[in-house]
């Protein structure tokens, strides 16, 4: 087992990654900017994320760092582009330099939004072409890892579903991407309400959903094997939002008659383009990891089990 530092563990995906890596037996420490409070479930250490020296001290003795921390505010990154760039690219440079200094592997979690959405089932070798600032900064951070880290890899994910491990209530709202889509539908329909699935050419409409705990498990495998290059951590089924909604109703035993399909509300429209089809082909990656990309039904059943037990359990 490895000694792994995790950045961004107070976030949605990062929390699941920390939980699963811990359950796998890895020695996990979460690097945080401030005290996360007494209920935070994993060992943590405060770092100055603006200081390479502070990050280097925190990574001393670690085998790897799983880097998921970002400036998670789409509007702010446009309003203050210097802060946005530093929250993605600058931070990644500092994490990479710190990891290089102590001989730690960098596992950087990126996004399917590095693609322009005009293709289908993008491979690890397909050239990216982001259409908004978020995608640009994710791609720039990828290049930092690929060309600056002495040892490391980029793991692209997309269509991520799951429970937030450190925030009891959510968020669970449909947005221009796929995140939280399934549980926002489940919350609404299971309480007797109706749910409108947005169908619009200006939002992310096609993806390969994966549950957040599976990302943690696959990252653990990649770290143990000390892989390099670009990985696609994707589910085994490519779906539209409509298809994902209907599959969710089937697995969660909900009435599809309570699901409507309609236009994107004006207030949910992002100020910049959104890639339409960001489906990822992870065949090569899964071969390198010695596992398979699990189909959508298995991913959704895993999420239903997590919702019932409150514990993130991976498929791999």
| Average pLDDT along the chain | 96
Average pLDDT over residues 150-154: 98
Q: Which residue has the tokens 């900017």?
A: 33
Does residue 142 contact residue 154 with C-beta atoms inside 8 Å? yes
Report which of residues 167 and 200 the model is more confident about: 200
Question: Does any domain span residue 43?
Answer: yes
Query: What pLDDT is attached to residue 186?
Result: 96
Average pLDDT over residues 244-257: 98
Which residues does residue 154 pair with via DSSP β-bridges, in sequence order? 108, 230
Question: Does any domain span residue 95?
Answer: yes
Question: Does any domain span residue 150?
Answer: yes
For the domain that residue 42 is a member of, what is the CATH number? 3.40.50.720
Structure confidence at residue 75 as a pLDDT band (50, 70, 90): confident
Closest by Cα among 312, 6, 10 to 167:
10
Query: What pLDDT is attached to residue 170?
Result: 56
The three-state (H, E, C) secondary structure of the chain, written as one string: CCEEEEECCCCHHHHHHHHHHHHCCCEEEEEECCCCCCCCCCCEEECCCCCHHHHHHHHCCCCEEEECCCCCCHHHHHHCHHHHHHHHHHHHHHHHHHHHHHCCEEEEEEEHHHCCCCCCCECCCCCCCCCCHHHHHHHHHHHHHHHHCCCEEEEEECCEECCCCCCCCCCCCCCCCCCCHHHHHHHHHHCCCCEEEECCCCCCCEECCEEHHHHHHHHHHHHHCCCCEEEECCCCCCEEHHHHHHHHHHHCCCCHHHEEEECCCHHHCCCCCCCCECCECCHHHHHHHCCCCCCHHHHHHHHHHHHHHCCCCCCC
Question: Does any domain span residue 205?
Answer: yes
Give the integer Cα–Cα distance in Å for 146 and 227.
12
Does residue 65 contact residue 105 with C-beta atoms inside 8 Å? yes
Residues 6+ apart with CB under 8 A from 164: 12, 15, 170, 171
Question: Does any domain span residue 9?
Answer: yes
| Lowest-pLDDT range of 9-13, 65-69, 72-76, 252-256 | 72-76
Average pLDDT over residues 104-114: 98
Helix axes 212-224, 12-23, angle to 10 degrees: 60
Query: What pLDDT is attached to residue 173?
Result: 83
Average pLDDT over residues 3-28: 97
Average pLDDT over residues 100-129: 98
Question: Does any domain span residue 160?
Answer: yes
Cα 23 from chain centroid (whole Å): 19
Could you list the residue range(s) of the whole structural domain that residue 85 is in?
3-309
Average pLDDT over residues 206-211: 98
Does residue 252 contact residue 300 with C-beta atoms inside 8 Å? yes
Question: Does any domain span residue 283?
Answer: yes
Structure confidence at residue 149 as a pLDDT band (50, 70, 90): very high
Sheet holding 152-157, edge to edge: 44-46, 27-32, 3-7, 64-67, 105-111, 152-157, 229-232
Count: domains in the chain: 1
Average pLDDT over residues 287-292: 98
Query: Would you say residue 74 has pLDDT above 90?
Result: no
Phi, psi of 187 (to 5 degrees): -60, -45
Question: Does any domain span residue 316?
Answer: no
Query: What pLDDT is attached to residue 256?
Result: 98
Report which of residues 277 and 311 the model is more confident about: 277
């Amino acid at each position: 087992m490895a000694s792994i530092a995790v950045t961004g563990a107070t976030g949605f995906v990062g929390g699941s990654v920390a939980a699963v890596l811990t359950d796998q037996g890895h020695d996990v420490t979460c690097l945080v900017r401030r005290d996360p409070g007494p209920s935070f479930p994993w060992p943590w250490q405060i770092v100055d994320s603006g200081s390479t020296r502070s990050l280097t001290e925190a990574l001393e003795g670690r085998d790897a760092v799983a880097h998921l921390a970002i400036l998670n505010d789409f509007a702010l990154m446009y309003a203050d582009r210097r802060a946005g760039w530093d929250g993605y690219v600058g931070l990644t440079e500092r994490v990479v330099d710190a990891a290089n200094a102590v001989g730690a592997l960098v596992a950087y979690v990126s996004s399917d939004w590095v693609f322009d959405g005009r293709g289908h089932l993008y491979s690890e070798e397909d050239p990216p072409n982001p259409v908004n600032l978020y995608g640009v900064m994710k791609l720039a951070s990828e290049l930092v890892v690929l060309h600056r880290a002495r040892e490391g890899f980029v793991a692209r994910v997309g269509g991520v579903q799951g429970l937030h491990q450190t925030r009891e209530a959510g968020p669970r709202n449909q947005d221009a991407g796929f995140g939280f889509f399934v549980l926002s539908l489940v919350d609404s329909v299971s309480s007797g309400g109706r749910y409108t699935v947005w169908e619009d050419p200006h939002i992310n409409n096609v993806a390969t959903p994966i549950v957040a705990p599976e990302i943690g498990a696959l990252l653990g495998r990649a770290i143990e094997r000390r892989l390099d290059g670009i990985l696609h951590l994707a589910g085994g089924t490519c779906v539209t939002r409509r298809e994902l909604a209907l599959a969710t109703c089937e697995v969660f035993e909900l009435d599809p008659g309570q699901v409507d399909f309609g236009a994107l509300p004006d207030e949910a429209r992002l100020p910049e383009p959104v890639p339409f089809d960001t489906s990822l082909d992870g065949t090569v990656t899964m071969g390198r990891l010695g596992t398979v990309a699990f189909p959508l039904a298995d991913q959704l059943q895993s999420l239903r089990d997590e919702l019932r037990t409150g514990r993130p359990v991976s498929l791999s």
